[in-house]
Structure 1
Amino acid sequence: MERDSMDSPRRGGRSEQKLRAIIVGGSIAGLSCAHALLKSGVCRVMVLEKARALTGSSHGAGLGVDAAACEALEDWGLRDKLFLKSKPLDREENRAIDTERKVFITLASDAEYRHRAAQWSELHRILRDSLPPGIVHFDHEAISFEENADGRGIKVTVAEGGNTQSVKEVEGDFIVAADGSMSRTRQYYVPGDKRRYAGYCAWRGVFDYTNEPEIHESIRSIYPDIGHCLYFDISRGTHAVLYELPGKRLNWLWYVNQPEPVLKGNSVTVHPDEDVIARMHEAADRSWVPALAQLIKATPQPFINAIFDRNPLKQLVFKRVVLVGEAAHPTTPHGLRSTNMSILDAQSLGKSLAKWGRDNLDSALGEYEMRRLNATSQQLLFSRHLGSLKQGLLFEPKGSFPWHTADEGMVEGLLQRNMNFFQWRC
């Protein structure tokens, strides 16, 4: 069996004395960890990603990067690149929509929101292209691992090009499991752990208005702060999200209560046929103000995400294996936490390793777990609550719409700033 260069004997040189970190997963969480561990100064890093490439798509997801995550990216020398490829989200605004009269009232807003709006693929590219050559290994799937008998190292069996007949071993001091919401690593240590369907799906799309500026003007007439505001429109048993991305693109999501859909494999994405899209267009006219309905109908290739999360774990570290990102805390999207928690996981892990040094790995991993477990658990549960609140699932009958009688405390509860550790710095 072939061995990787990370297994080379330690000869006492400075680089040879560094901890060998194997990161499983080359998405935003895994690449953030690569930056953070290199920044710590005590690690050599290898990222294993089973996909041939992770480039995103022209109609892929938008995301919001909060102030604390921006500070982490600045610490890794990436702030200017992010700001070049993102737009400010300075405000959050929640509005109640009267679907019959097609009017709205503002329920609650936060004028100090301090996020940046970016395309998933752009943030991923920034993280990937800023790493030294030879760190990220695409088309490399970690198919199994084995802890050393002395408990002080770990071997990973890797298949290249999807060929499980041709494998090699990589040996490291610890593994960072950044392999997503369907993490094999998590399943190994937490058998029987099931994902939880939230009770609704999200239609979503990105619209490029370069050649149709009239649609943007129509949106601006109803959403005057588009370009630096995150809008939530809430109606009976549903809510929509709208914000602008760089490059004259409008990112929208529309959450719909429904039974759990039939999905293929581990995917949570459904690509609907023309009949399903046509029915969605009819529902958009009934549900939203004309400008938003027009935007939804003009968007090519909208798709559906089923919304899942998992219950919080009681630990994030299992001997020399540490969970980060969606492998640690798959969450619903309502607090914009998935990407931000991933980046802050990475920053916290890197800082803990820098503090404790290569000879105190167990202490470093223990500190990471202590710092992140409570924060991520509370944010996961808040995001779950926020989605249920905005979808009307906390009221009887389900999907009812009490906002016309809501008191000040209820409408304040719509804002993300009520989340524990919001904008928290590691």
Structure 2
Amino acid sequence: MTSFHQSPGAPRIAVIGGGIGGLTLALALRRHGFSVAVYEQAAELAEIGAAVALSANATRELERLGLGPALAAVSTEPTELIYRDGRSGARVAAHPVRTGGAYRARFGAPYYGVHRADLQTVLSGALAGEGLHLGHRLAALDQVGDAMALTFANGVAVEADLVIGGDGVRSLVRRWITGGEAVRYSGTSAIRGVVPMGLLPSLPDPEAIQFWMGPDAHLLHYAIGGEADSVNFFAVVEGPQTWTSERWLAPIAPGGHRAGFAGWHPAVTEMLDALPQTQRWGLFVTDPLRRWHRGRAVLMGDSAHAMLPHHGQGANTTIEDAITLAELLAAGGARDLDRMMARYQALRQARTRTIQRSAWATNRLLHLPDAAGATALARRDARMTRFPEDFGWIHAFDARATVDRAAAEMRAA
């Protein structure tokens, strides 16, 4: 059985999953002097998905970790947030982001579009390989006294005082904690890709983050990269009604990528046709969990609260989780892990559930059918004009400040 390298008396912390959350958590814990082992099943940190939108609730924390310049160098700050009619292309609502410095002035941190591989490079570069174990797929875990015994598919076995499961929607750590998979298909699916800007001559406002809305479908896109030379898109449709593939991906017939977008604006069809499309992604979510921890294991990120991507908050709430765990441990939680995990769940559960529910409601708004009638469509449009007022609470959230308040309560108790 391999051993950890840590200071005497410090908890042995094992993070399962070397994605955005796991790497952020490792950096945040190291900042407070903790040693941590991150176990990633992949043999290398390769791209999973295409890109990610980072809002202020995440970028403020990454900047606090000293990653601001490196992150800015590989990211695009969108000019505006624009909602459009998917067929006519007409602007329904628009809100400044980079323009006039509006977003930073309101939320105190930037909004970025970044390729997921570039974000992973920034995070892993800062970690410099310290404590990162690639090619380690978790096969089993169990509690042995006050410790957790972990066995990996490559035969490696370790013990840890605290296991943090950041191993995604189909989390083995979650199955151990809850006794069930608790993952379900949302009834919606998507095609996605990264397109060179030069292939999109019909695209208006190319550096804006934009939602194109229509019956039973929508398309989201935003520019990425330090030169804003590519566009990441995510096109979502209702269906298929059931998902039979054991994987996230399922094949689509030639031309099937256009299903749901007939008669839409040329900018949309150019984007859909710019790359060969042979498969679709099923969108899966976790039902709200009653408990996030058991024994000395606790969940973070998609393992705990996988959500529809319509607020772009999957990666952002995962970063919030990582900062919350690190700050609670640093504030004395390492001396009482059971109490720390209970406080962590109390801090994170209500917020993530609210965002999950809001993402479902946003799916219905973005996919509103013509049959809903003019009044319902007008209400949808009015809702989009109120985006900063209705959803600013998501972006204004300060994970570290929230933990500081909770830590003060812990010390006073």
TM-score normalised over the length of structure 1: 0.83
Would the alpha carbon gap of residues 92 and 406 (structure 1) be closer, same or farther in structure 2, given more than 3 Å must change? same
Q: Deviation of residue 277 (structure 1)?
A: 3.5
Partner of 1:122: 118
Measure, in 2, the Cα distance between the counterparts of 1:416 and 1:293.
32
Between the aligned partners of 1:238 and 1:33, the Cα distance in structure 2 is: 35
Counterpart in the other structure of 1:218: 202
* Post-superposition offset of 1:177: 0.4
Match of 1:78 in 2: 67
**How far off its partner does 1:136 sit?**
1.0
Q: Of the candidates 161, 174, 187, which is equivalent to residue 173 of structure 1?
A: 161
Structure 2 counterpart of 1:373? 349
Summarize the Cα distance change of 1:218–1:158 in structure 2 as closer, same or farther, 3 Å threshold. same
Query: What is the SS of the residue equivalent to 1:422?
Result: helix
Structure-2 residue corresponding to 1:340: 316
- Cα pair distance change 1:372/1:402, threshold 3 Å: same
Sequence identity, in percent? 23
Deviation at 1:159, TM superposition (A): 2.7
Q: Distance in 2 between matches of 1:371 and 1:378?
A: 13
CA distance change for structure 1 residues 168 and 308 in 2, over 3 Å: closer, same or farther?
Answer: closer
Larger radius of gyration: 1
Deviation, 1:422, is 3.4
- The structure-2 alpha-carbon separation of the partners of 1:359 and 1:103, relative to structure 1 and needing over 3 Å to count, comes to closer
Query: In the alignment, is residue 36 of structure 1 matched against residue 31 of structure 2?
Result: no
CA distance in 1: counterparts of 2:350 and 2:202, whole angstroms: 43
Mapped partners of 1:153, 1:194: distance in 2: 25
Higher share of residues assigned helix: 2
1:49 aligns with 2:49: no
Matched, 1:289 2:275: no
Q: Equivalent of 1:5, from 3, 9, 17?
A: 3
CA contact (8 A) 2:200 2:270 kept: no
Letter of the aligned partner of 1:382 in structure 2?
A: S
RMSD: 2.6
Structure 1 residues 170 and 238, CA, compared in 2 at 3 Å: closer, same or farther?
Answer: same
Q: Which residue of 2 aligns with 1:11?
A: none
> Aligned-pair distance for 1:119?
0.8
Distance 1:321 1:282 in 2: 43
In structure 1, distance between residues paired with 2:22 and 2:332:
21
1:142 to 116, 138, 141: 138
2: CA distance between counterparts of 1:414 and 1:271?
Answer: 35
1:321 corresponding residue in structure 2 = 297
Partner of 2:398: 425
Residue 242 (structure 1) shift = 1.7
Change (3 A) 1:234 1:135: same
For residue 230 of structure 1, what is the aligned residue in structure 2? Answer: 209
- Give per-residue Cα distances to partners, 1:301-332, cap 9 Å, x unaligned: 46411112122122322231110010010111
CA distance in 2, matches of 1:352, 1:188: 23
Structure 1 residue 371: deviation in Å? 1.5
- Residue of structure 2 equivalent to 1:204: 192
Shift of residue 218, structure 1, vs aligned partner? 2.6
Q: 1:259 aligns to what SS in structure 2?
A: coil
Q: Identify unmatched segments of 5+ residues in structure 2.
A: 104-109, 400-413
Partner of 1:157: 151
Mapped to 2, the partners of 1:287 and 1:135 lie a distance apart of 52
TM-score by length of 2: 0.85
Q: Deviations over 1:333-352 (max 9, x none)?
A: 00111100111100011111
Amino acid in structure 2 at the alignment position of 1:264: S
Q: How does 1:303-314 map to 2 (within 5 A)?
A: 303-314=279-290
